[in-house]
A and B are shown apart, each in its own frame.
Chain A
Amino acid sequence: MRAIVTGAARGLGAAIAGRLARDGADVALLDMSVDVMASAGRLAGDVGAAGDAGGAGRQVAVGLVADVSDENACAAAVDRAVHAIGGVDVLVNNAGIGGPDTDVTRTSLAEFRRVLDVNLTGIFLMCREVARVMIGQGSGGAIVNLGSVFGQQGVAGGAGYCASKAGVALLTHSLALELAPHNIRANTIAPGNMATEMHWDELRSRAARSGGTFDEQVEMVRASVPLGRHGTGGDIAGVVAWLVSPDAGYVTGQTIGVNGGIWLS
């Protein structure tokens, strides 16, 4: 298996890339932060993989720096990834930003556009480039896009983020219909409240606004989850590993909620 994972320098993306590599995949880790080079290096060490110029028969883990919202950078990164890992069977679009924590009436156009550019347009660009390669290979494939439970329900102060993540789900479902004849499956994972820096930043912002403490915000969220805890990178990586495997061979065009039981009501 040859996989590209975006937003892979830290958090969920790093956990996903790690799981796929430990399951035996050659992995290209892509991120707009140069930290991805160190993440790829550590992963290569963990699984005994080689870097970009990996010799025949050795597993490959390679880091690439690119902003997925930049059309040319995206195409170039996919080209380099495909060259480094010898093709692509799996794309996991995890790169995303939290966006501004502001009411719509106080949100600038630039802020709104930025979250749409990264979270939605970036996934469109990555899917377009990678799907072209997959179709050319003629050997099928699997795409997993990271949406959010906040693409299924609204949040005051999070309109841009929610709109971008709702867009991801329908982009993915349309893509699934277009790519099914090529035996390429496309699904969305909608995480709930995850123990990531992005979520902690949001809770710090909420605490600052409400006058409460960060710890109170963490506890309030935790208590709202039926399973009684925040999700982890491993929780998401386990679902990704399943969705890209033959065990999900008849699953396409779906949104899988991984949220500890916070469902739509």
Chain B
Amino acid sequence: MTPGRLAGRRALITGGASGIGLACARRLLAEGAAAVLLDRRADALASAAGVGAAPVACDIRDPGAVAAAVARAAGLLGGPADVLVNSAGVYRIAPLLDLTPREWDDVLAVNLRGTFLAGRAVAAALIEAGLPGAIVNISSTAGLLADASEPSAHYNASKAGVLALTRQMAAEWAPHGIRANAVCPGVIDTPMLRLMDDPAAGAAYLQADVPQRRLGSADEVAAVIVFLVSDDASYLTGAAVPVDGGITAI
């Protein structure tokens, strides 16, 4: 935590009403940034706004809604957002043989299409204004590894897609001074976590498959995201940074 490190920065956080997005908002505000939270759920946004960020309701799947929300955020922030954290996402479990095309489309629409729409809208505004910026997309260790015990091909494919999208954002927008990186959280203690639904199986997994032998916290992921948008990461772009207690080192 470095108070004032992000003074003057204008942050937009999608999926900001809970979990990693909300933890990011708290941390960005604590280091001096102004922040706007986007979320589909207006009720959750209202309580999340208590952290000191402005709430804007938005369905991240809808191009018109995203464009309007990014413009509204710029008004609230006093300029185009120069920090974007794409944390809007959904997690569903379904074995491939039971997975319907509708379920596939629903997950891809939020996790991958939404990340594309918000990233494009924010980058377009920055490039038009001639301003640099930093984007962090939330991928997952599920975008790097398969998991037979929690089968979710649609989620995993969407998160692998986010990595390719992130590299492309980095390549195309580097000449404009916009950096784009991804984080790959492992098993993180958020409302999205399903691992601990069966506490005994969850504990066994942590012992056997997580070198640090514990869940990560949303605050620990937020700390990495805030590093990535800070000037300490000024030569880092196109990277995927696992925040997973060592899962992907095995």
Contact = CB atoms under 8 A, between A and B. Distances in A.
Interface of A: 173, 176-177, 180-181, 183, 192, 226-228, 231-232, 235-236, 238-239, 241-242, 246-254, 256-261, 263
Contact of A246 (B170, B223, B226): B223
A251 B242 CA distance: 7
B213 A181 contact: yes
Interface string B203-235: 000000001110011001101101100111111
Given A247-B227, A254-B248, A256-B241, A261 B171 contact: yes
B167 interface: yes
Contact of A254 (B171, B220, B231, B242): B242
B224 A252 contact: no
A231 B250 contact: no
Given A176-B246, A181-B213, A254-B241, A226 B234 contact: no
A252 B211 contact: yes
B236 A263 contact: no
- B interface, size bucket: 35 or more
A244 to B, nearest CB: 12
B237 interface: yes
A226 B227 contact: no
A123 B173 CA distance: 36
A246 B2 CA distance: 12
B238 A261 contact: yes
B237 A261 contact: yes
A252 B223 contact: no
Contact of B233 (A232, A238, A250): A238
A75 B170 CA distance: 43
17 contacts: A176-B249, A177-B211, A177-B249, A226-B171, A235-B234, A236-B235, A238-B230, A239-B232, A248-B227, A250-B216, A250-B221, A252-B246, A253-B249, A257-B239, A260-B235, A260-B237, A261-B238
Contacts, number: 109
Contacts of B186: 250
> Which label, helix, strand, loop or mixed, suits the secondary structure of the B interface?
mixed
Nearest to A251: B243
Contacts of B221: 250
Contacts of B216: 250
Contacts of B231: 238
B245 A252 contact: yes
Interface in B137-186: 167, 170-171, 174-175, 179, 186
B236 A257 contact: yes
A251 B170 CA distance: 22
A227 B171 CA distance: 9
B223 to A, nearest CB: 4
B102 to A, nearest CB: 34
B170 A226 contact: yes
B206 to A, nearest CB: 12
A238 B249 contact: no
Contacts of A253: 211, 246, 248-250
B233 A239 contact: yes
Contacts of A242: 227, 232-233
Contact of B223 (A177, A180, A249): A249
A180 B239 contact: no
B170 A249 contact: no
A162 to B, nearest CB: 20
Contacts of A250: 186, 212, 216-217, 220-221, 224, 243-245
Nearest to A183: B212
A180 B179 CA distance: 31
Which residue among B227, B233, B246 has the maximum number of chain A CB atoms within 10 Å of its CB? Answer: B246
Given A247-B226, A254-B242, A173 B249 contact: yes
A250 B232 CA distance: 18
A228 B227 CA distance: 21
